[in-house]
Amino acid sequence: MDIRKVQENQSLYKVGYTSGSVEKQIANAENESTYLYGPVKVCKEIQVANLDSEALETAIHHALANYRLNVDIIRRPMIE
């Protein structure tokens, strides 16, 4: 499956937790498999208080499990 073809037809979203800044977390997205080696933009950022944010992330992943993109990532070598 070519991720670029998937992205032509639908938006992809990444749910994640960070204790730091979101900008720092995604700064190197184009070089990381978790972001499918592509550019990302923040569409929603939620700060939580008095709640286990990692447990919330897990709950969101479970709630969206049927919509998860299941792919094997094979990165082609860069041509210099």
pLDDT for 80 equals: 57
Instruction: Give a yes or no: residue 75 inside a domain.
Output: no
C-alpha distance from residue 50 to each of 2, 6, 47, 61 (Å) = 41, 38, 10, 20
Question: Considering the domain boundaries, does residue 74 fall inside one?
Answer: no
pLDDT at position 58 is: 94
Domain that residue 13 falls in: 3-67
Question: Is 62 within the bounds of a domain?
Answer: yes
The mean pLDDT value of the chain amounts to 84
pLDDT at position 6:
75
Looking at the 3D structure of the chain, how many domains does it have?
A: 1
- With a cut of 70, which residues of the chain have pLDDT below it? 1-2, 75-80
Residue at 73 is within a domain: no
**What's the pLDDT score for residue 77?**
55
Q: Which residues lie below 8 Å from residue 45, measured CB to CB, with a gap of 6+?
A: 22
pLDDT of residue 76: 63
